[in-house]
A and B are shown apart, each in its own frame.
Chain A
Amino acid sequence: MTERERFIKALKREPIEGHCPTFEMMFFLTLEALGRIHPFQKSLDRWDQMTQKERRLHIEYDAETYIMTAEKYQHSAIFIEFGFKQMSEYDKILRLLETVREKTGDRYFLMLEGDPTFAMPDGENMMSFTERMYEDETGLKKEAEERLARRLEIAEVLSKRGLVDGFMMASDYCFNVNPFFSPAMFETFIAPYLSRAICAYRDMGFYSIKHTDGNVMPILDQIVDCQPDALHSLDPQAGVSLSEVKRLYGDRVALCGNVNCGLLQTGTEEEVVSDVRRSLREGMNGFGYIFCTSNCVYTGMPLERYELMHRIWREEGSY
């Protein structure tokens, strides 16, 4: 069974043997781990000036970095973090996906960002976005429709080319204390579009993993009702309990994450070990679990802490 097939089985909450699948939404420590610059740390300001050959070399390099990360840490999935913010990036990302596929075939579950829904706005835009929710419901809904249409158009192209297996839906909705959106706001401005995106993706043969940091509990019912294949991050720093989410929704959705990033950064080694064991114990119970951090392996996280987490998974994370 390939890593991709194991990942899909976990998404379907089907029994598997051997290791619980693992991946990371982002793994930025490639320089230290592999001696390679992460694609996000490279500046490609002169992309338009480059020869075709140089562009191809950059794409090859990035593809290899993703693949080497997955190989080194036995990840079952590769998430290409680039988003289609501008259509000029479209060709570059397609070529990156093609290159990863060419080099790995169907070995890995390949994902792209695909969330059309509004994330909670940054500090600068929070007031204007809030005013629109209160005072321009029609306009905001129109924008939500347009965002959805754009994403589905891209998904159609990807579907025809068979390049990805699914989408990471990465719009963040929550603070540590609570969601930014009240349940009523979520019902009006987010859930309808999230639901339609997931449904359309499924019709095209794609899987969907819904990510959000923070305390998702007040809106989790609505998110699960949108029928993603999996929920990602399950942030323990925001009080999200893996065992509780499993109890409430484990029969409807697969779960990913919950290894406490805060502890990986600042906890003692004993705390990390204990937290990793807890995540494995709670998550693997009853299948449908993908082992990973509660956010990502970000710049500044000590690599040895991720490797400690990974070692425990290797030694103890088997069904």
Chain B
Amino acid sequence: MILNEISLQLQSGKANAVKELVCKALEEGIPAETILKDGLIRGMSVIGEKFKNNTVFVPDVMMAARAMTQGSEMLKPHLSVEESGMTGKVCLGSIKGDIHDIGKNLVKMMMECKGLEVIDLGVDVAPETFVETARKENCRVIGISALLTTTMVTMEEVVKAAERAGVRDQVKIMVGGAPVTEDFAHKIGADAFSSDAATAAEVALAFCKE
């Protein structure tokens, strides 16, 4: 019952209520991993699904994510590394020449809520930086964002840089952003295109679990 309440309060974006409930659940002896999976992650999954179906909006997701983050922080001391739910590593950024970060930040938030570790490279990121980071940090996924039609063409350079570095078969490359389309992603040789942050997180998670 308390796990369901955690999920509901998280969906309402009530971080303080979530923290109180998480604390109570721990006191009741519920394992931290159970609280994480059946309370926090379950609530975030519901919000993510609603967001994908356009029944909740970005601020709703952000408040839920804030509650998720704060609730997770309380669980951290009680979780082993394996239990902490980290399911894979992604490096993410806005492509060179593009200083827009709204979409990229939303994707980051949704990915983290799926238990992915995200290395945020920020904005105006050179193609080589994506590839070098993925190689050094052992990232399974590179996520590239662009808002501008003038910058999205540089996304192809990331694919080429990964090929040149000999890591193309070790990393999945995802692209997204307002002007980006499925066709464009296919044309430049990316592995996936996502039209929204929730789907991007799902796709990245699936790649990490492959």
List A residues at the B interface (Cβ < 8 Å). Answer: 120, 122-124, 126-127, 130-131, 133-134, 175-182, 185, 214, 218, 237-238, 261-262, 265-266, 298-301
The verdict on B101 contacting chain A, using a C-beta distance below 8 Å, is: yes
**A176 to B100 CA separation, bound complex (whole angstroms):** 14
Chain A residues within 8 Å of B104, by CB:
123
Task: Determine if A134 and B63 form an interchain contact, defined as CB atoms under 8 angstroms apart.
Answer: yes
| Contact A126-B102, Cβ < 8 Å, known A134-B13, A299-B150, A300-B150 | yes
Task: Determine if A300 and B59 form an interchain contact, defined as CB atoms under 8 angstroms apart.
Answer: no
The total number of A-B Cβ pairs within 8 Å is 73
Chain B residues within 8 Å of A266, by CB:
149, 153, 179, 184
**A122 to B102 CA separation, bound complex (whole angstroms):** 6
**A301 to B54 CA separation, bound complex (whole angstroms):** 32
Beyond contacts A124-B101, A126-B102, A182-B59: 6 other A-B pairs, Cβ-Cβ < 8 A, are: A123-B104, A130-B59, A185-B57, A185-B59, A265-B149, A265-B179
List B residues at the A interface (Cβ < 8 Å). Answer: 13, 54, 56-60, 62-63, 66, 100-105, 148-150, 153, 178-179, 184, 195-196
CB distance from A191 to the nearest CB of B (A): 15
**A-B residue pairs in contact (CB < 8 Å), sample of 11:** A120-B102, A127-B66, A130-B62, A131-B63, A134-B59, A175-B102, A178-B54, A181-B59, A261-B149, A262-B149, A266-B149
Chain B residues within 8 Å of A178, by CB:
54, 57-58
Q: For residue B97, which residue of chain A has the nearest CB?
A: A300
**A265 to B58 CA separation, bound complex (whole angstroms):** 28
Task: Determine if A180 and B59 form an interchain contact, defined as CB atoms under 8 angstroms apart.
Answer: yes
Task: Determine if A300 and B148 form an interchain contact, defined as CB atoms under 8 angstroms apart.
Answer: yes
Chain B residues within 8 Å of A127, by CB:
62, 66
**A123 to B101 CA separation, bound complex (whole angstroms):** 5
Chain B residues within 8 Å of A131, by CB:
63, 66
Chain A residues within 8 Å of B148, by CB:
298, 300
Contact of B100 among A123, A181, A301 (CB under 8 A): A123
Task: Determine if B195 and A176 form an interchain contact, defined as CB atoms under 8 angstroms apart.
Answer: yes
Contact of A237 among B57, B100, B179 (CB under 8 A): B179
Contact of A123 among B66, B102, B179, B196 (CB under 8 A): B102
